[in-house]
Amino acid sequence: MEVPQNAVATVTLEGLLQHIDGNPLSATFHRCELLPDMVQIYPVKALARNQKPRPGKFRPDGAAPRPPSTLPPPGDMHLNLRLGKFIGDGRSGIVFEAEQLPDAVANSEHAFPPLVVKIVRQERCQSGAREAWFYDHLECLQGVVVPRCYGWFELRLTPEWEVPAWSTYPTSNSRTDAIEGPAEFMSYHISDLREKNLRPSPIMTELAAARDRLFILVMERVGGRFQRQPTYDDSESEPRLSAAYTELAHMGVDMSLDIKGRNVCMAPEAPPGLPSLPSPFTGRTHNIRLIDFELALRTDWSVAVIVSNCESHFGSV
Ligand SMILES: Nc1ncnc2c1ncn2[C@@H]1O[C@H](COP(=O)(O)OP(=O)(O)OP(=O)(O)O)[C@@H](O)[C@H]1O
């Protein structure tokens, strides 16, 4: 039976943590709550320059709400994992295959698909939380155009513990969340935000500065990079991309700040992965999975506006 995405309450991960004396430690993580105001709507209304936008630019009813969850009540399952092969990394996280240990699931009638863990960088807790927020907001599109996400988990570090992955896979980007702030505020001048008393929610401010917290995202493992058709017959690639980003647009999510080849993957192969689900909006089944929501925007723009923003970046995929 497919495990509901909210079934896991705790995760033990071997191979991630060590004592400063070099001895390996097993890391136990607890599921974290995601609060509605962790991501705010862009563009920020109080700073809108054009008070009379062109007709059709915004959704008549405001930003798309998160549809009610179709998941059962949260479970109390424990998931036992070991850090596997390194897959890739970026500004915010380091992604590894997650090996499921034999007693991974207390109740063995439940089966997980192949999994990955995204280890959030020490100075990127806010970005990680933002990404986790989008997975939750997009619950109805998990398995459709975004990977199934089994949760956002936290461990509080003590000064005696180390996370070798942080130094083994350093990022060339030295900017931190405390400097950058959440993506919905990035295009505004700090003095304009201050003047209108606009700021991230208290939890996001706290996470931007946090350095003693280790967060992981547990997700289904998707396929390799999106493959364009051979150049002499590439007429299908952009409509497929457009159809995938249109699904996100139905949820008011604009990814146009971060459309690039490494953020567009193929759906997992099923089996061993789980099959693709049809979209609740269009009924369409996609073989694309979109990842990396750190720079995603939650907007109240219309579907057409969001899709057009995204389409202008398909050349970089
Ligand atoms: N669910 C997944 N399944 C398989 N591979 C994944 C998955 N999620 C991420 N990856 C791989 O890990 C790499 C890094 O992940 P991701 O892009 O989410 O990190 P990031 O730190 O947010 O990167 P960026 O600098 O682009 O913001 C991706 O390019 C992809 O190859």
C-alpha–C-alpha distance, residues 118 and 98, integer Å: 9
- 317 residues of the chain, pLDDT tens digit each: 789 999 999 999 999 999 999 999 999 999 999 999 999 999 988 888 777 778 889 999 999 999 999 999 999 999 999 999 999 999 999 999 999 997 644 555 568 999 999 999 999 999 999 999 999 999 999 999 999 999 999 999 999 999 999 999 999 888 899 888 899 999 999 899 999 999 999 999 999 999 999 999 999 999 999 987 766 666 788 899 999 999 999 999 999 999 999 999 999 999 999 999 999 999 999 999 999 999 999 999 999 999 999 999 998 89
Cβ-contact 200, 177 below 8 angstroms:
no
At residue 173, the pLDDT reads 84
Answer whether residue 102 is part of any domain: yes
Cβ 105 vs Cβ 111: under 8 Å: yes
Virtual CA dihedral for 93, 96, 97, 103, nearest 10 degrees?
Answer: -90
Instruction: Tell me if 289 CB under 6 Å of ligand 1.
Output: no
- Asked whether residue 279 is domain-assigned, the answer is no
Q: What radius of gyration do the chain's Cα atoms show?
A: 20
Here the tokens at position 98 are 């997650």
Instruction: Kindly state whether residue 175 falls inside one of the protein's structural domains.
Output: yes
Residue 107 located in a structural domain: yes
Q: Which CATH number do you get for residue 141?
A: 3.30.200.20
In a domain, 202, yes or no: yes
pLDDT at residue 232, rounded to an integer:
64
204 falls within a domain: yes
Residue 110 has a pLDDT of 65
Q: How many domains does the chain have?
A: 1
CA-to-CA distance for 21 and 26, rounded, in angstroms?
A: 14
Query: Can you tell me whether residue 14 is helix, strand or coil?
Result: strand
pLDDT at 52: 78
CB 5 within 8 A of CB 150: yes
pLDDT confidence of residue 168: 97
| Most ligand 1 atoms within 8 A of CB, residue of 86, 87, 259 to mutate | 87
The ligand 1 atom nearest the CA atom of 147: 1
User: Which residue range forms the structural domain that includes residue 67?
Assistant: 8-223
Q: Which residue has the tokens 């920020």?
A: 44
Give burial (CB, 10 Å; 0-12/13-18/19+) of 56: exposed
Residue 244: inside a domain, yes or no?
Answer: no
In a mutational test of the pocket of ligand 1, which residue from 85, 94, 118, 174 has the highest number of ligand atoms less than 8 Å from its CB? 118
Other Cβ atoms less than 10 A from the Cβ of 149: the count is 23
ipTM of predicted assembly, 2 dp: 0.97
Q: Which atom of ligand 1 is nearest to the CA of 124?
A: 21
Residue 176 β-bridge partners = none
- Sort strands 8-19 and 77-89 into parallel, antiparallel or unpaired: parallel
Contact 280, 222 (CB under 8 A): no
User: Exposed (0-12), middle (13-18) or buried (19+): which is 317, by Cβ within 10 Å?
Assistant: middle
Are 264 and 198 spatial neighbours (Cβ–Cβ below 8 Å)?
no
- Locate tokens 């089966």: which residue? 111
145's CB contacts (< 8 A; 6+ apart) are 244, 247, 248, 279, 286, 288, 289, 290
Q: Is 143 in the pocket of ligand 1 (CB under 6 A)?
A: no
The whole-number pLDDT of residue 108 equals: 53
Q: Whose CA is nearest to atom 30 of ligand 1?
A: 88
Distance 87 CA to ligand 1 centre (A): 8
Instruction: Tell me whether residue 105 is in a domain.
Output: yes
**Hey, whose CA ends up nearest to atom 24 of ligand 1?**
90
pTM of the model: 0.95
What is the pLDDT, as a whole number, of residue 175? 86
